[in-house]
């Protein structure tokens, strides 16, 4: 192992466990949140996107997320009409779904590729198209601390609910094989993939990469790079509010959600990642209830992880579970 920002030697990471922080009302909180969103939902809208790309179909899906809010997702799929397995992609912090045809790799392998916009984001690298209409109290610029003093108002309650509602919407599409829905994402997207795998019964496989918001109490103390440092900055000003912050984070902590993940799961982490510290990813991995689980470790990489090489491994892993149409 090379030196870098890793917080533990690799042999210790394989033994690391996070303390339990699960609130007593965790199940009720999420059941009520998703049921409320479903009751507020409007019919989904699917429209063809103009694009010079002719080998796949590109469409825009508008579906109802948290509180019935309209959320955008881009669908890229094979031109055949037979139902195909779907891969739902959740984006890293600040990214948006981008322009039509910007992400073609999963569709090129025969999957229905669905890329969800993250509400209010989409100003880093790729453009976003979905607003977040809900205001919050004091927060550090960014999204990590919006509404963080109460789990009811926390930004990530809304974003996780959007991810769960996307699974609902995709499972109803006639060109999707609803028995073969996978979720994936890196960083923030890895957290959303863990949440969907933990809280939605229609998800059949998960591939979270370097997830944020895992082992939150440890993460906010040791992580040197944004966006987790937004929480550290918040606490440096709002002295004495740590108990409220940690209580809120317990509802979205990937290490807690992992206990509820029973489906095949292929995770990854990088030992030089200063955005999503490797010990926090290991904490989530160890808590997975899946019988079929594995963790890819990239010793010399940072938050970019294994890049295209890791995607090739994901394709191979998913084909072993979903088959090849």
Asked, for residue 24, whether it belongs to a domain, the answer is yes
Residue 54 lies in a domain: no
The helix-helix angle for 188-199 and 155-171 (nearest 10°) equals 60
What is the DSSP code (8-state) at residue 19?
P
State which residues form the domain around 266: 10-43+129-319
Per-residue pLDDT of the chain (325 residues; tens, 9 = 90+): 334 455 889 999 999 999 998 999 999 999 999 999 999 999 999 999 988 988 999 999 999 999 999 999 999 999 988 999 999 999 999 998 888 888 899 999 999 999 999 999 987 667 777 888 887 676 667 999 999 999 999 999 999 999 999 999 999 999 999 999 999 999 999 999 999 999 999 999 999 999 999 999 999 999 999 999 999 999 999 999 999 999 999 999 999 999 999 999 999 999 999 999 999 999 999 999 999 999 999 999 999 999 999 999 999 999 999 997 6
Q: Is 283 inside a domain boundary?
A: yes
Report the C-alpha gap between 212 and 94 in whole angstroms. Answer: 13
DSSP state of 197: H
DSSP code of residue 17: -
Q: How far apart are CA 72 and CA 318, in angstroms?
A: 25
Q: Is residue 159 part of a domain?
A: yes
Return the DSSP state at 66.
G
Specify if 19 maps to a domain. yes
* Residue 256 maps to a domain: yes
- DSSP H helices, the chain, are 10-13, 26-39, 105-108, 155-171, 188-199, 216-222, 229-237, 242-250, 254-257, 278-287, 307-322
Domain-embedded: residue 92: no
Domain assignment present for residue 205? The answer is: yes
Instruction: Please indicate if the annotation marks 111 as binding a ligand.
Output: no
Neighbours of 307 (CB within 10 A): 11
């Amino acid at each position: 192992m090379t030196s870098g920002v890793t917080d533990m030697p690799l042999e210790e990471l394989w033994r690391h466990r996070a303390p339990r922080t699960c609130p007593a009302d965790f199940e009720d909180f999420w059941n009520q949140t998703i049921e409320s969103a479903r009751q507020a939902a409007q019919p989904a809208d699917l429209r063809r996107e103009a694009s010079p790309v002719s080998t796949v179909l590109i469409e825009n899906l508008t579906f109802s997320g948290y509180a019935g809010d309209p959320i955008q997702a881009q669908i890229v799929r094979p031109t055949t009409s037979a139902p195909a397995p779907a891969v739902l992609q959740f984006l890293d912090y600040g990214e948006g779904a981008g322009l039509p045809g910007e992400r073609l790799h999963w569709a090129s392998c025969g999957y229905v590729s669905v890329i969800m916009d993250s509400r209010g984001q989409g100003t880093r690298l790729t453009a976003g198209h979905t607003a977040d209409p809900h205001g919050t109290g004091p927060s550090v610029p960014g999204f990590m601390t919006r509404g963080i003093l109460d789990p009811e108002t926390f930004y990530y309650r809304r974003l996780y609910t959007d991810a769960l509602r996307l699974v609902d919407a995709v499972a109803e599409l006639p060109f999707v094989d609803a028995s073969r829905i996978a979720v994936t994402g890196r960083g923030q997207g890895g957290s959303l993939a863990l949440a969907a795998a933990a809280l939605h019964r229609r998800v059949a496989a998960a591939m979270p990469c370097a997830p944020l918001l895992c082992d939150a109490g440890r993460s906010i103390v040791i992580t040197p790079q944004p966006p987790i440092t937004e929480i550290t900055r918040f606490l440096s000003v709002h002295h004495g509010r740590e108990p409220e912050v940690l209580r809120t984070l317990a509802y979205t902590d990937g290490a807690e959600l992992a206990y509820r993940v029973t489906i095949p799961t292929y995770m990854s982490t990088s030992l030089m990642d200063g955005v999503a510290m490797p010990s926090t990813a290991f904490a989530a991995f160890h808590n997975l209830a899946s019988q079929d689980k594995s963790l890819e470790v990239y010793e010399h990489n940072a938050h970019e992880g294994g890049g295209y090489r890791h995607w090739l491994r994901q394709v191979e892993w998913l084909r072993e579970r979903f088959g090849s149409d």
